[in-house]
Amino acid sequence: MTEELSFEFLLCGEYERLLSECQKALDHWNGRSERIRQAQLSGEEPGRELLRLQARFAKSYAVLQRHIEHCERCQLAARMSQCVSDSSARSLATVAH
């Protein structure tokens, strides 16, 4: 129970919101791209639409990355994740030898 509470404390609501927006933008871009391919559409208009969707995704991803760089809670979570990952790798190396 204590571990659950500590991880809940580390969750950043803004990160979760930005990640969700980024995922939606990616899904929309991928979905529309697939529909355009299936319909075998070509020309300037479908190309412009896909470029707009790609730009929307790139912008949302950049906003997410900037947030991570400036949010203390996100930085702490990243460091903790790296520590856990490093610890797991060391444990696997010990077991292997």
**3-class secondary structure per residue, 3-70:** HHHHHHHHCCHHHHHHHHHHHHHHHHHHHHHHHHHHCCCCCHHHHHHHHHHHHHHHHHHHHHHHHHHH
Domain ranges of the chain: 15-96
pLDDT at residue number 81: 77
For the chain, list residues with pLDDT below 70: 1-10, 86-97
DSSP code of residue 1: -
Which residue, chain included where needed, has tokens 């391919």? 37
User: Other C-beta atoms within 10 Å of 73: how many?
Assistant: 15
pLDDT at residue number 2: 42
pLDDT at residue number 96: 54
Tell me the whole-structure pTM to 2 decimals. Answer: 0.72
pLDDT at residue number 95: 53
Which residue, chain included where needed, has tokens 């077991």? 95
pLDDT at residue number 30: 97
